[in-house]
Amino acid sequence: MSTTLENRIRVYRAEYRMSQADLAEKIGVTRKTISTIEVGRFVPSTIIALKIAYFFNVPVEDIFRLEGDNTPKVTD
Amino acid sequence: MATNRSNNDSPALTIEKFMQRTAWGIFLLAIVHGMGAAEFLVPDNTAEMLAMVGKILGVGVILIVAPGFYQAMKLGGFRKLECDHQEGFVTEMLSKASTMAFSLTFVCLLALKVIAEKYASGLPAAFFLNVALTLSLLSFSISFFVLNRDPGEDDEFSAEDDA
């Protein structure tokens, strides 16, 4: 099973009544970048992911999550 | 929280528009080189016409790229824009298109070498250079356009959604 990056940007945008263009402007990217991240076509850089998380004031894991990842933890 | 403010002047959008204009410029440049190669295969009067069209398209390349360059300069130059701009989708697609074009150019050069030795030894080096440049620039611009196609309209959330 391949690993995919799931995100909840749309959920947070809905909560704050924001358009993709509004969010893009706030974090310094274009609407197309936000749009392609949301549909999973573009994997954002760590900086963009952190900026989105900072903007919504939540940990980055609340917005981005790895689906189908089998990487073992150090405690395993 | 939604705003109606346009981000037309944002550094990210300025860089994105510059990249898109550059890709169109490169596409036109590919056509110019394609016509440059064709000049060696057609009669003289047609070759002269192709050369003339090529010059007009060359001016077109400048007219396409220059406004994007001007906009970037107006916002403080590329160094400042790069500092303000995070690597977004279009930057990534430009990079992918470059890699694809490089690979295709390499294969094309190998194929041209074989063709030149076996079938077209009478043609000048300029012909093969033009063919290689055409394929390289064309593959870059077309792969950029395909990769960069718009995923769709903005989905705005408004107070009406609550109803």
Chain B environment of A13 (Cβ under 8 Å): 157
Residue B37 · residue B131 · CB < 8 Å:
yes
Buried b (16+ CB within 10 A) or exposed e, B58-97: eebbeebbeebeebbeebeeeeebeeebbbbbbbbbbeeb
Average pLDDT of the residues of chain B: 83
How confident is the model over A17-40, as a mean pLDDT?
91
The minimum CA-CA distance between A22 and chain B, rounded to whole Å, is 6
Task: Name residues whose C-beta falls within 8 Å of residue A1's C-beta, 6 or more positions apart in sequence.
Answer: A68, A70
Highest-confidence range of B15-19, B44-48, B119-123, B155-159, by mean pLDDT?
Answer: B44-48
Length of chain B: 163
Residue A7 · residue A40 · CB < 8 Å:
yes
pLDDT at B85: 63
**What ipTM does the predicted assembly reach?**
0.77
Q: Say if the Cβ atoms of A30 and B13 lie within 8 Å.
A: yes
pLDDT above 90 as % of chain A: 70
pLDDT, tens digit, 9 for 90 and up, residues B73-130 = 777 766 666 655 667 888 888 899 999 999 999 998 898 888 888 877 788 888 989 9
The minimum CA-CA distance between B149 and chain A, rounded to whole Å, is 10
pLDDT at A56: 96
Of residues B74 and B157, more confidently modeled: B74
Please tell me the pTM assigned to this model: 0.79
What chain A holds in terms of domains, given with CATH numbers, is 4-60 (1.10.260.40)
